[in-house]
Amino acid sequence: MPPGAHILAGFSLGFHHRQQLTRLLDNAAGRCSLLNLDPQRLKAEGVSTLALDFDGVLSPHGSPAPLPEAREWLERCVTVFGNRNVFILSNKPTEERRHWFEQHFPAMRFIGNVRKKPFPDGLNRIGELAGVPPSSILMVDDRLLTGCLAAILAGARAAYIHPPYVSFRQRPFSELFFMLLRSMERIFVRLARLFPDSTT
Ligand SMILES: [Mg+2]
């Protein structure tokens, strides 16, 4: 697959699914952080399995390990869902991140060798591995046109993390780049929503 194919797919498929993306954006309302997601409540709402993005969700961009508060949250998730029902689905599954999980959450699975989000392949794989329907999987992601869109395409649920974790002190240029990218996605979704829905 050519590099960047997932980005092009993000815009074209994102346009197609603009209504669902708008709903996610409106629901987050700029106040959905990782720590707002209560594992007990999610389970009560029918979530059985978590698919977690890394950058912006568990840590600022490019960090090798989750933040301490995200680690505590992961521990709560393990208590509620079990190690085997929490997956890491990042478009950057680096070796040092894998290594961190091997050290701290060895039973938690890291999804690799799949087409990048927004393609639903990673979520489909998680459904197979966990033996659950996509409708009970929650994708937690800070990107509308990658993770959230992948969830829509797979028939899974999505939590749009907004605001994400950022650290301008550690990586000023990449954080600025991703801040602009996330803003651009929100503008794209808002503008796309102005187009009439051909299905109604
Ligand atoms: Mg991310």
* Locus of tokens 């505590």: 72
Query: How far does residue 113's CA lie from ligand 1's centre (Å)?
Result: 18
Alpha carbon of 165 to ligand 1 centroid (Å): 9
- Is 51 a member of any domain? yes
Q: Which has the closest alpha carbon to 178: 6, 60, 23, 31?
A: 60
Ligand 1 centroid – CA 160 distance (Å): 10
Query: Is 5 inside a domain boundary?
Result: no
Tens of pLDDT, residue by residue over 158-178, are 999 999 999 999 999 999 999
Distance 190 CA to ligand 1 centre (A): 20
Distance from the alpha carbon of residue 44 to the mean position of ligand 1, in angstroms:
26
How many angstroms separate the first and last alpha carbons of the chain? 34
Ligand 1 centroid to residue 112 C-alpha, Å: 15
The reported pLDDT for the residue numbered 200 is 46
Tokens of 52: 């977690």
Residue 172 maps to a domain: yes
CATH number of the domain where residue 104 is located? 3.40.50.1000
- Average pLDDT value for residue range 20-37: 93
Residue 179 maps to a domain: yes
pTM for this prediction: 0.95
Average pLDDT over residues 38-60: 98
What are 89-138's pLDDT values in tens digits? 999 889 999 999 999 999 999 998 999 999 999 999 999 999 999 999 99
Q: Could you give the number of structural domains in the chain?
A: 1
DSSP reduced 3-state for 98? helix
Q: What pLDDT sits at residue 199?
A: 55
